[in-house]
Structure 1
Amino acid sequence: MFRYIVAPLIGALIGYCTNYIAVKMLFRPRREKYILGHRIPLTPGAIPKGKSRLARAVGEVISTYLVTDKDIESRALAGETEDAIVDRAMELLHADIDSGFRAATNSEEEYEALMGKLDDIVTERISDAVRSINFADIIKEKGGQIINEQLGGSMIGMFLNPETVRGLLGSISDNMGVYISEHCYKFLAPEVSINMGKLRRDNVYNIMTGAGVSDDELRAKIREIYRKTVRAVVPEVISKLDIAGMVRRKIDDMEVEQLEDMVMEVMRKELNTIVNLGALIGFLLGLINLIF
């Protein structure tokens, strides 16, 4: 009777110990061991020895199957994500423009300098547009028409012959063109500064709705821009991130102890099952050996 109990128990013990040692040898020894200058076989353990290969394989699996550009794109374009982005964008559009400029600067002095530069740029652009207008031709053309319409039937008109009118208009237009070119910036600068201040105190939402764009149209446009941006940017970002390389380098840089802790945290239950399964198989083999 004792023989029928001991044999299966010994088989179970052998199976348990064998699988326990096999699991431990996945990680241990953690480094190569030498005797008289010769490396002992099976050192280091399977995982420390193949850490680089494991790192490369894990990186490839994650980048190919788990974290792909399509996965990130579909998640970014999911309904709840899109709605959150659109809602946040609408909040920003309701904020006054000035708050954005203040957030982009680090001090009041920097903010004032930026606003001054912006006012100068706008004033200069408007001045350039004004200077590009050919006032001389406009005055000569329209001025003659106005004089003829206003004074054509009057006594003064009798003394103004076409040559006199052309000479007068030519002198006025030439001098006015020079004056406008030289002084338009000075006249425009105060008005531009006042109106730019008013604009900065407003918000983009009011400006857009004031131009006839409805709330729904604005939301639809934001959603459209977001979708186009995600589809254009995500593949490029994923490519530049090099997820496979990032994971590989992270695992390569890990100490063997860290790697063991990580694997055991994920697979402790499964590895314990393998050890216990060894005991069960050993027990059954011992029992079968007695029967046959």
Structure 2
Amino acid sequence: MSALLWISSPLVGAAIGYVTNTLAVTMLFRPHEPKRFLFFTAHGLIPKRQGDLAKKIGELVGQHLVGHEDLIRAFDAIDLEAALGRLLDKALEQKLGELRAMPLIGSFLSPERIGGLRDGLVKAVLEHREELLAEIEKALEEKLDVSSVVQQKVQEFSTRELEAMILSVARSELRAIEIWGAILGAVIGLLQAVLATTLLA
């Protein structure tokens, strides 16, 4: 009897602890949709609170992680001269094909004139770089709400996508919770065996 108690109590405790914690982890995500069981409705915690989660993530990102100043700094780090050059080359190439087809205008569009026009436009924009950045920042402040954008994106995730995203980050930690449930359950079972043996001695 004593040997059976010392073996069975930790095993039963470990099984109960593991199953309980596994069920708790599972119920974070499932059921994805509300399910009616007799007198109560079951719904995974994260799917049920997805709206609140989206709002909090949006506030965190918008207020503490990414602001308009960060976007401007990122824009300022761009090689604006090269970017404008490529943009103008593409725009001019499209229009010049049409203009060269016109007899009077086409004869004036030499490569030198086109290159000079392109370089002049780039230089003119770069001379007003700070004003351009200031206008962009003003437009971002007026039109872009980072918190709302992030909130909407998170809200648009399906519950399965949200589950997969969270598991990709926290799978090992959630697995550890299940394992610790078994360990703590075994310890409690062992203590119960000690207590039972002591009382029956």
Contact 2:67 2:146 in 1 (8 A): no
**Cα offset for 1:65?**
1.9
Q: What's 1:33 paired with?
A: 35
| Superposition pairs of residues 1-292 of structure 1, within 5 angstroms | 1-34=3-36, 40-41=40-41, 43-77=42-76, 81-82=77-78, 84-86=79-81, 88=82, 92=85, 101-103=92-94, 105=95, 108-109=97-98, 111-112=99-100, 197=109, 200-203=113-116, 222=126, 225-234=128-137, 236-237=139-140, 240-292=143-195
How many aligned positions are there? Answer: 190
Contact 2:29 2:44 in 1 (8 A): yes
Contact 1:48 1:256 in 2 (8 A): yes
Contact 1:7 1:290 in 2 (8 A): yes
**Cα offset for 1:33?**
2.2
**Cα offset for 1:53?**
1.2
**Cα offset for 1:229?**
2.8
Counterpart residue type for residue 200 of structure 1 = R
Q: What are the superposed Cα offsets for residues 103-127 of structure 1, whole Å, 9 maximum, x if unpaired?
A: 3x3x834x358997xx7xxxxxxxx
Distance 1:246 1:205, change over 3 A: closer
Stretch moving more, 18-27 or 239-248: 239-248
Distance 1:235 1:2, change over 3 A: farther
Q: What's 1:122 paired with?
A: none
For the aligned residues, what is the CA RMSD? 3.7
Q: Percent identity?
A: 29
Contact 1:98 1:201 in 2 (8 A): no
- Counterparts of 1:254 and 1:206 in 2: how far apart (Å)? 46
- Counterparts of 2:151 and 2:166 in 1: how far apart (Å)? 15
**Cα offset for 1:202?**
4.1
Q: What's 2:198 paired with?
A: none
- Counterparts of 2:146 and 2:103 in 1: how far apart (Å)? 42
- Counterparts of 1:250 and 1:99 in 2: how far apart (Å)? 33
Q: What are the superposed Cα offsets for residues 83-111 of structure 1, whole Å, 9 maximum, x if unpaired?
A: x334x16x839xxx8975333x3x834x3
Structure with max Cα Rg: 1
SS at structure 2 position matched to 1:34: strand
Contact 1:14 1:279 in 2 (8 A): yes
- Counterparts of 1:112 and 1:9 in 2: how far apart (Å)? 87
SS at structure 1 position matched to 2:43: coil
What is the TM-score of this pair, normalised by structure 1? Answer: 0.52
Contact 1:98 1:200 in 2 (8 A): no
Contact 1:69 1:235 in 2 (8 A): no
Any stretches of 5+ residues in structure 1 without a counterpart? Answer: 120-192, 209-217
Counterpart residue type for residue 247 of structure 1 = V
Any stretches of 5+ residues in structure 2 without a counterpart? Answer: 196-201
Q: What's 1:147 paired with?
A: none
- Counterparts of 1:285 and 1:240 in 2: how far apart (Å)? 58
Distance 1:99 1:32, change over 3 A: closer
